[in-house]
């Protein structure tokens, strides 16, 4: 893949500034780019790298005003990050071999329904009454239990396990080792300190355009459904308990855990290692910082939260500053006590 | 499955209040139940839903006193939650196809011993000298290494991996992606900042009636055994390090980690995302809140703990209230300082 | 395996103290050792056990001075822990069956290159253009995607998944369920609150002598490489995001997460459940306590850190002491306020 700045300018509907004949054959980050690389500048934090970058072409936002001369050819576009993403995507398609067909040995129950242009790898296991939509890719060691429904153009990477009756929507991507529909963690008092398993007869519904990270676990509902709404993006090693519902276009970073029956709103952004207790609601547009412990419902929309105990993001920053100075604070109290004592003499 | 209130009353040894001829064909949570549903009320937090519920039949505790009229037929039983659990379980059995027999292709070493009525799925791998007890179910992509012993009526869901010499007790359930017996994290100083692996020659012993969640990891002992006692329930994504012992009927929520050689007592309840350091003991009946960091042994039984640093549950609540008000506290100290200064003039 | 103290003394180049003819046939920890066991004392915390130990032979450091009589035969060596590790390792080799050859059914693409003395288990999947070095072991359900390179004497335990183009160095061990090279968590604003996937075209490079724990996830770089340098040891359930780099001989405990593009130095020791934000650097030799939240770069080398917010280890201990006494602190402020008020009357 060798392209000129002129060609890329046309592709991205951008304006070329500098030599239009310079060519690139790879994509790179601005701080690592060498000659022959195409790079981009979207975040002003990285602007310093533009002036010394070895990149041959740099995609920038149309309103970018350089403060020093730049050696590279610039291509100005409306949104540099989006434009670069488009190129990444095309490159990605070239990189990945487009697998189709059914490899042997695999296990496909005759009662299952497999769509057109599907890839089913060796060692995939398709149980009775499973449905797989057109264009979906089922990699090695994927296990789809009885009655699982997989939509169109779904990618299930190697080792994904889906328990019975679960539903996966169109264009969804699930990464290796993610477990969908394992039993919710429900036990009743069985007497004498023992526990009795509460059967988990519900399922998991994952809507369309969802992406789920590696080794993330989503438990089936006790009754009803655990629901991941359309456009949700879950990172790796996340725990979603039974009967949780996550609103559309909510994004959650790695290692966060959400306890049973909690409802997360739409368009929330939740950091990594957050813990959210069960049976609460989080309002739409909530922004929750990494490592936060959420132990109560958040009712007002579009606010930022942080800390454990939970505080507004602003209060949390203030509180954190003082936590670091607690020994000094105690000293000041001690001094006050001694002064007061002196005065009372 | 269509049943009348009368039939269910007999099944549960309960008292029917209202129309005994009304029929149900599904189970549902009280807040989601529609006509034709059987539901239950166990937790008074949900009582409000009883009065507007669309459920046709509601199971309640025998001492439940409604404060408004209820449209549904009630069935009064000693313990509504337990009674409903029994129904769930029966329904669950109907839902799940009862797999038995050996599917091809699978790998079963001739030196292994397989009991009666066992299910071994395609792509399961049974190594030399493995023993599997009667009635156990081994799903696709389960790997049992050399000399593993699996008891009776054990369920190993798809993708469970068990390293060599480990032992799994009767009636235990292990969910997809759980790893039993991987090497403990042990390294010795190898000089020049390098580490040398310490061989991990012990095993993992899981006793009977244990349930282990998806993608949970339990490391083998360096020497001796990592032990999970009978009746223990572990949620998803939990880390159990080498030589840990967990006492019987202890319950641990998702994403908690327990470091090497720590001993957890019986009948403990440990929340999610808790971290427990190595080489300590936790007394029987300890109750540890979510996200707690336990850095010292807990010697007194049946107490509740919380926070990081570790505090009694009560102290932790008090401390948390003040953490939120730290900026105000500092202001008060500042005012005191200024007043004292004025007075000293 | 039955050995005399005399034989072990020669093997370890140590000095035998006591009966040289006593024999042992197993290894055990000092606090659990019975007659016929060989044990060791390296950490003085365990010295108490030496005096009552049932062990027949105990390996000790050459400068160990007993304060009571010891029944066991002692073998004095330079480093008791290292010496014992050597014995553990030999025992471990005896325990493990040394698998070689190719088991059926497995999937090996004809374009792949397989070295000498390699073990490829049934249900392993080797994609086009994969290279596997001499002496490596590929257990059941391992998936190696297109163009993956595996070095010499690598062990990939059952269920390891490696995405396309990733590279694994010589002598590296990866435990079950670890996922190498899944997509980094990168999404661009797609308008109307929706997200657009940013293709992740980079890879993961794991250098030699690395060990990676069960169910740990390491994401591929957006562009370039996520890099795990030589000698790094990662515990279970760790999250390594895209474009992270971990310096050589750094050790990280379970359930820690490192966000995108962060660079960790060499010879760091990082505890469990630590969270490290993206786009920062951690200096060589940093020591970071369990559950710490690192939200800024650490620039000075060889320091110890703790807490969330991040503090020096010493400050964190001081601060934690006061957090526990916050209610008392508030009371003292209240008293001061009341006294001042009285005096102002």
Name the residue among A103, A248, A340 with its Cβ closest to that of C107: A103
Alpha helices for B61-176 (secondary structure H):
80-95
Mutual orientation of helices A326-344 and B326-344 as an angle, nearest 10°? 30
- Please give the positions of B annotated as active site: 242
For residue A29, the chain C residues in CB contact (below 8 A) are 222-224, 243
Helix (H) or strand (E) holding A337: helix A326-344
Q: Is A28 on the interface with C (CB under 8 A)?
A: yes
Closest-CA distance, B316 to chain A, in angstroms, reads 10
Contacts 24+ apart (CB under 8 A), C130-139: C133/C170, C137/C99, C139/B143, C139/C176
Closest residue of chain A to C107, computed from CA coordinates = A122
Alpha carbon distances (Å) from B253 to A187, A260, B275: 12, 11, 12
Closest-CA distance, C342 to chain B, in angstroms, reads 12
Tell which B residues from 240 to 259 touch C, by Cβ distance under 8 Å.
Answer: 241, 243, 255, 257, 259
What confidence tens digit (pLDDT) does each residue in A139-165 have? 999 999 999 999 999 999 999 999 999
What pairing do the DSSP bridges indicate for beta strands B161-162 and B179-182?
parallel
Q: Which residues contact B242 (CB under 8 A, 6 or more apart)?
A: B183, B184, B185, B186, B200, B202, B219, B220, B221, B222, B226, B260, B261
Query: Residue A262 and residue A131: Cα distance in Å, rounded?
Result: 29
Neighbours of chain A (3+ CB pairs under 8 A): B, C
Average pLDDT over residues C31-59: 91
Check A195 against B251: CB less than 8 A apart. Answer: yes
Check C273 against A272: CB less than 8 A apart. Answer: no
Query: Residue B231 and residue B209: Cα distance in Å, rounded?
Result: 5
Residue C125 has pLDDT above 70, yes or no: yes
Q: How confident is the model at residue B343 (pLDDT cuts 50, 70, 90)?
A: confident
What confidence tens digit (pLDDT) does each residue in B228-283 have? 999 999 999 999 999 999 999 999 999 999 999 999 999 999 999 999 999 999 99
Query: Residue A138 and residue A160: Cα distance in Å, rounded?
Result: 9
Q: Is B315 on the interface with A (CB under 8 A)?
A: no
pLDDT at C98: 81
Check B199 against C323: CB less than 8 A apart. Answer: no
Query: Residue C215 and residue B178: Cα distance in Å, rounded?
Result: 8
pLDDT at A44: 86
Q: Is B237 on the interface with C (CB under 8 A)?
A: yes
Check C125 against A333: CB less than 8 A apart. Answer: no
Q: Is B131 on the interface with A (CB under 8 A)?
A: no
Name the residue among C125, C128, C239 with its Cβ closest to that of A237: C239
Closest-CA distance, B237 to chain C, in angstroms, reads 7
Fold adopted by C3-96: 3.40.1390
Q: Is A194 on the interface with B (CB under 8 A)?
A: yes
A24: left (phi over 0), alpha (psi -120 to 50) or beta: beta
Spatial contact of B72 and B90, defined as CB atoms under 8 Å apart: no
Residue B318, helix vs strand vs coil = helix
pLDDT at C344: 63
pLDDT at A279: 95
Residue C77, helix vs strand vs coil = strand
Residue C1 has pLDDT above 70, yes or no: no
Query: Residue A199 and residue A223: Cα distance in Å, rounded?
Result: 9
Residue in this structure with the two tokens 């697998």, named with its chain if needed: A99
pLDDT at A345: 58
What confidence tens digit (pLDDT) does each residue in C129-181 have? 999 999 999 999 999 999 999 999 999 999 999 999 999 999 999 999 999 99
E strand map for A105-232: 107-108, 113-114, 119-120, 125-126, 131-132, 137-138, 143-144, 149-150, 155-156, 161-162, 167-168, 173-174, 179-182, 187-189, 195-197, 203-206, 211-212, 217-219, 225-228
Query: Residue A241 and residue A229: Cα distance in Å, rounded?
Result: 15
Average pLDDT over residues C24-36: 89
What confidence tens digit (pLDDT) does each residue in A94-123 have? 777 788 999 999 999 999 999 999 999 999
What are the structure tokens assigned to C244, written together? 């992270």
Between the two ends of chain B, the Cα-to-Cα distance in Å is 87
Substitution target in A122, A182, A320 with the highest count of B β-carbons within 10 Å is A182
Cα angle: B173, vertex B178, B184; to 5 degrees: 120
- Characterize A100-132 residue by residue with b for buried, 16 or more Cβ atoms within 10 angstroms of its Cβ, and e for exposed: eeebebbbbeeebebeeebbbbbbbbbbebbbb
| Dihedral sign, Cα of residue B126, residue B131, residue B134, residue B137 | negative
Query: Residue A329 and residue B242: Cα distance in Å, rounded?
Result: 42
Nearest Cα neighbor of C15 from C65, C74, C70, C56 is: C74
Check A141 against C164: CB less than 8 A apart. Answer: no
Nearest Cα neighbor of B251 from B302, B287, B225 is: B287
Residue C345 has pLDDT above 70, yes or no: no
What confidence tens digit (pLDDT) does each residue in B136-160 have? 999 999 999 999 999 999 999 999 9
pLDDT at B1: 64
Nearest Cα neighbor of B130 from B114, B142, B148 is: B148
Tell me, rounded to whole angstroms, the distance of Cα B53 from its chain centroid.
30
Q: Which residues contact A70 (CB under 8 A, 6 or more apart)?
A: A18, A50, A51, A53, A58
pLDDT at B156: 98
Q: Is C94 on the interface with B (CB under 8 A)?
A: no
β-sheet with B225-228: strand ranges across: B113-114, B131-132, B149-150, B167-168, B203-206, B225-228, B245-246, B263-264, B281-282
What confidence tens digit (pLDDT) does each residue in B125-136 have? 999 999 999 999
Residue B209 has pLDDT above 80, yes or no: yes
- Characterize B40-74 residue by residue with b for buried, 16 or more Cβ atoms within 10 angstroms of its Cβ, and e for exposed: bbbeeebeebbeebbbbbbbbbeebeeeeebebbb
Burial class (CB in 10 A: 0-12, 13-18, 19+), A68: exposed
Q: What are the sequence ranges of the domains in chain C?
A: 3-96, 160-309
**Taking all residues of chain C, what is their mean pLDDT, rounded to a whole number?**
94
Peptide bond into C105 cis (omega under 30): yes
Fold adopted by A160-309: UDP N-Acetylglucosamine Acyltransferase; domain 1 (2.160.10)
pLDDT at B345: 58
| ipTM of this complex prediction, to 2 decimal places | 0.91
Check B199 against C91: CB less than 8 A apart. Answer: yes
Check C254 against B273: CB less than 8 A apart. Answer: no
Name the residue among C141, C157, C326 with its Cβ closest to that of B182: C157
Cα angle: A123, vertex C149, C222; to 5 degrees: 90
What confidence tens digit (pLDDT) does each residue in C239-288 have? 999 999 999 999 999 999 999 999 999 999 999 999 999 999 999 999 99
Spatial contact of A260 and A203, defined as CB atoms under 8 Å apart: no
Check C97 against B161: CB less than 8 A apart. Answer: no
Q: Is B137 on the interface with C (CB under 8 A)?
A: no
Closest-CA distance, C21 to chain B, in angstroms, reads 24
Peptide bond into C309 cis (omega under 30): yes
For residue B123, the chain A residues in CB contact (below 8 A) are 107, 123, 125, 141
Query: Residue B312 and residue A325: Cα distance in Å, rounded?
Result: 24
Q: Is B308 on the interface with C (CB under 8 A)?
A: yes
- Please give the positions of C annotated as active site: 242
pTM: 0.93
Average pLDDT along chain A, 345 residues, taken 10 residues at a time: 88 93 90 91 90 94 93 94 85 80 97 97 97 98 98 98 98 98 92 90 97 98 96 98 98 98 98 98 98 97 96 94 92 90 70
Maximum pairwise Cα distance, chain C:
95
What confidence tens digit (pLDDT) does each residue in C64-103 have? 999 999 999 999 999 998 888 888 888 888 777 788 999 9
Tell which A residues from 254 to 293 touch B, by Cβ distance under 8 Å.
Answer: 255, 257, 259, 273, 275, 277, 293
Q: Is B333 on the interface with C (CB under 8 A)?
A: yes
Maximum pairwise Cα distance, chain B:
95
Residue A1, helix vs strand vs coil = coil
pLDDT at A251: 98
**Which three-class secondary structure string do you get for C265-334?**
CCCCEECCCCEECCCCEECCCCEECCCCEECCCECCCCCEEECCCCEEHHHHHHHHHHHHCHHHHHHHHH
Closest-CA distance, C48 to chain A, in angstroms, reads 36
Residue A194, helix vs strand vs coil = coil
pLDDT at A299: 98
Q: Which residues contact A197 (CB under 8 A, 6 or more apart)?
A: A183, A186, A187, B89, B173, B211
pLDDT at A89: 83
């Amino acid at each position: 893949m060798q392209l000129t700045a002129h060609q890329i300018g046309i592709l991205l509907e951008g304006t070329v500034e500098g030599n239009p004949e310079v060519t690139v054959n790879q994509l790179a980050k601005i701080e690592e780019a060498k000659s022959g690389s195409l790079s981009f500048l979207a975040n002003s934090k990285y602007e310093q790298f533009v002036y010394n970058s070895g990149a041959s072409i740099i995609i920038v936002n149309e309103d970018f005003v350089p403060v020093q001369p730049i050696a590279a050819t610039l291509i100005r576009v409306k949104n540099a990050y989006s434009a670069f993403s488009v190129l990444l995507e095309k490159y990605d398609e070239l990189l990945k071999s487009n697998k189709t067909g059914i490899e042997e040995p695999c296990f496909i129950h005759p009662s299952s329904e497999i769509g057109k242009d599907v890839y089913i790898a060796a060692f995939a296991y398709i149980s009775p009454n499973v449905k797989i939509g057109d264009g979906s890719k089922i990699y090695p060691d994927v296990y789809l239990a009885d009655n699982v429904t997989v939509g169109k153009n779904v990618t299930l990477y190697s080792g994904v396990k889906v328990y019975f009756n679960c539903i996966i929507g169109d264009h969804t991507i699930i990464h290796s080792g993610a477990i969908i529909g394992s039993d919710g963690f429900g036990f009743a008092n069985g007497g004498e300190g023992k526990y009795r398993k509460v059967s988990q007869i519900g399922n998991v519904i994952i809507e369309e355009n969802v992406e789920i990270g590696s080794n993330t676990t989503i438990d089936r509902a006790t009754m009803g459904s655990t629901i991941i709404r359309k456009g949700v993006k879950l990172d790796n090693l996340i725990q979603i308990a039974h009967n949780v519902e996550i609103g559309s276009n909510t994004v959650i970073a790695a290692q966060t855990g959400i306890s049973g029956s909690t409802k997360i709103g739409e368009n929330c952004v939740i950091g990594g290692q957050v813990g959210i207790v069960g049976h609460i609601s989080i309002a739409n547009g909530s922004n929750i910082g990494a490592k936060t412990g959420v132990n109560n419902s958040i009712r007002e929309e579009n606010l930022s939260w942080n800390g454990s105990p939970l505080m507004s993001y602003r209060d949390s920053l203030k509180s954190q500053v003082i936590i670091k100075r607690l020994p000094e604070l105690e000293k000041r109290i001690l001094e006050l006590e001694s002064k007061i004592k002196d005065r009372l003499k």
